[in-house]
A and B are shown apart, each in its own frame.
Chain A
Amino acid sequence: MNRRERMRSFFTVPVLLSVAFLLAVLLVSVFAEQLAPHDPDTLDPASVLAAPSAEHPLGTDPSGRDLLSRLIFGARSTMLSAFLVVLISAAAGIPLGMLAGYRRGILDKVLMRLCDAVLSFPSLLLAFVLVAAFGRGIGNVVLSLGILYVPMLAKLTRSLVLVESGKLYVEAAHATGFGGAHILLREILPNIFSTLLIQLMLDVGYAILDLSAMNFIGLGVQPPTADWGAMLQSARIHVKNAPLVALSPGILIVLTVVAFNILGDGISAYLDPAQRKLPSIKRFKKALLRRDPDADPGSKVLPRTRKAGEEAAHE
């Protein structure tokens, strides 16, 4: 496939729509101050749950705050924390995975055991435990989720490094006498970067979902911060008389996550049509990824990582 064909296969209508939507959300969250008609936290007891009007284009929320402004600032809170989660996990997961995949040995075994143990539990449960340890608050939630996203990424990185390490160009670099750091950073990383990027893209989507869940149950952002998950929570009891107020943050969550998923799929289709079949990327929750990514992608899923879960139970 030449470059032009690949571009064409990338810019399908759904991908274009997703890109446009995500760009809009990003722009809005960057320029929230300039775009929002009102301060998102100003209470106006006189107009509680007001219908859309010239002053409040989407009406007001249960505390009389301007809904549009809160959605705009909510976009900032949601996107920022989701990107932070992914950044934390990438900052820890990618180097760990690279080291494990390159050095092998004890470090690799221990790390992968740990990762399997973490992955064998529902991520939200561990998030609760971590937040219980760190204390509630959005900072701690972001940190906890960031940590929980590490194992998945580390495993993926490791398996990619393993594949690349066997290739000729790495051996050539060895033969030339380059050191481990050079080979990892200058030779291997550029080659696995695209696949990692897709995973990061999808992770942002999941991070939005997980964050909104944490914010929804009140462990994350504290009032009066505007956040889509928290907004849904505070408005949900009013869904009967003000469905727009209650449902609009949720709909934005769905659209954003869908857009990230489509984009991730689109990029993987662009990079390599064959990679579409890569199961580690297609699957949704990292929790589902219980099989070893080293395994042949076509092989049947069999309970091979179950051991890790059993061991974790005895810890």
Chain B
Amino acid sequence: MVIFLLVRLGDVDPVSVVLGGKQSSPQTIENVRREFGLDKSIPEQYINWVKGLLHGEFGKSFKYRQESGQIIFARLPVTLSIVTIAALIAILLSIPAGILMAAKQHKWQDTGISVVQLILVACPPFLTATLMVWMLYLFSPQTAFTGSPRTFSELMERTFLPGVAMSFVMIALLSRIMKSGMTAELKSDYFLAAKAKGLSTAAVMRRHCLRNAIIPVITSLGMMIGILLVESVLVEEVFSLNGLGVALVEAVGASDYPLVQGITMFMVFVFMTISTLLDLLYGVIDPRIRKGKAI
């Protein structure tokens, strides 16, 4: 609802968006109004939109004169693939990095990775992406990406580098969280107690601390994926991919409200789904949550 109202607050006349700013007869304008349901009052428009959502319709784009849903699903694979690749790389790299930092606290490994973190965190994804395009050109100038990916392998090929570019900031953030989590676990009593049983430090970390330390990482993962989903536009642009993010930004720029609403709602929906899935995952990891014990 907030999204709906906010978008409607703008003072741009939607009809001019549909017609591309051309001079039109009042009759045409009236037809357009009816086509998009704009002749109705705002509350009615809202009700219609919500009804549509329940049927899986996100509203009709002004610009494309097409259901937003169709546009979304056409653009989805690229974005989804970038986000997945980025998230996987980030998880796979940041967890070991965080563990290493915690285990070698104040040693050169720790300091080195913190410096890298500091820089990665400040690197906007579009810069990393541009750098990669440049590198790609330097090392294999003949590679050229044009057009939309058709097959799955093409998709992977095209979205791998963007995914890597997106993952950098996430690596920095997640490894920082992993490090602080692990550091806390290494100071815990059960770490000492497990060592007192005769386990080596590495074994205690692997068998006990890892699971405990990973909980905060999962907490932040949901938000991370949300950020990735939105920020994916920054690399889609650089790698000239037609993703969901690009569609959203174009729609924002063109005041194409239904499409903005549709994509935003969709992203929020995906984001909520992921959050719910992660909540279930907590339960698997932490018996205290599974058994409903408040902590």
Interface residues of A (CB under 8 A from B): 120-122, 124-125, 128-136, 205, 209, 212-213, 216-219, 229, 232-233, 236, 239-240, 243, 246-247, 250-251, 253-255, 257-258, 261-262, 279, 282-285, 287-288, 290-291, 298, 300-303, 306, 309-310, 312-313, 315
Contact = CB atoms under 8 A, between A and B. Distances in A.
11 contacts: A121-B226, A132-B6, A133-B10, A236-B130, A246-B134, A247-B127, A255-B122, A258-B118, A279-B180, A300-B295, A302-B219
A250 B219 contact: no
B204 interface: no
B119 A122 contact: no
Interface string B131-142: 101100100010
Contacts of B1: 315
B216 A124 contact: no
A304 B254 CA distance: 38
B14 to A, nearest CB: 12
A247 B135 CA distance: 12
A250 B130 contact: yes
Interface stretch (B59-67, B97-105, B263-271): B263-271
B252 A254 contact: no
A232 B125 CA distance: 12
Nearest to B278: A303
Contacts of A291: 219
Interface size class of B (residues with CB under 8 A): 35 or more
B92 interface: no
B219 A303 contact: yes
Given A129-B7, A240-B137, 16 more contacts: A122-B229, A132-B252, A212-B124, A216-B126, A229-B124, A236-B130, A247-B130, A250-B131, A254-B122, A258-B119, A279-B180, A290-B219, A301-B220, A303-B282, A309-B272, A315-B1
A312 B12 CA distance: 27
Given A301-B216, A301-B220, A129 B134 contact: no
A302 B223 contact: no
A301 B223 CA distance: 13
B230 A122 contact: yes
B122 A288 contact: no
A128 B134 CA distance: 29
B223 A209 contact: no
Interface of B: 1-3, 6-12, 118-119, 121-127, 130-131, 133-134, 137, 141, 172-173, 176-177, 180, 184, 215-216, 219-220, 223, 226-227, 229-231, 233-234, 237-238, 248-249, 251-253, 255, 257, 260, 264, 267-268, 271-272, 275, 278-279, 282, 289, 295
Contact of B215 (A135, A232, A236, A301): A301
A246 B172 CA distance: 24
Contacts of B238: 236
Nearest to B1: A315
Q: Is the interface of B mostly helix, strand, loop or mixed?
A: helix
B237 A216 contact: yes
Q: Is the interface of A mostly helix, strand, loop or mixed?
A: helix
Contacts of A121: 226, 268, 271
Contact of A219 (B119, B227, B253): B253
B122 A129 contact: no
A129 B260 contact: yes
A236 B122 contact: no
A169 B230 CA distance: 46
B7 A288 contact: no
B188 to A, nearest CB: 11
B76 to A, nearest CB: 16
A301 to B, nearest CB: 4
A263 to B, nearest CB: 12
B122 A209 contact: yes
Contacts of B279: 303, 306
A287 B173 CA distance: 11
Contact of B122 (A122, A131, A257, A310): A257
A232 B220 contact: no
A278 B6 CA distance: 35
B3 A262 contact: no
A131 B252 contact: yes
Given A128-B260, A135-B10, A258-B118, A287 B219 contact: no
A279 B180 CA distance: 10
Contact of B130 (A246, A255, A285): A246
- The list of the 8 closest CB pairs from A to B, nearest first, reads A250-B127, A257-B122, A301-B216, A122-B226, A132-B252, A239-B134, A125-B230, A133-B6
Given A285-B173, A303-B282, A136 B253 contact: yes
A222 to B, nearest CB: 11
A254 B223 contact: no
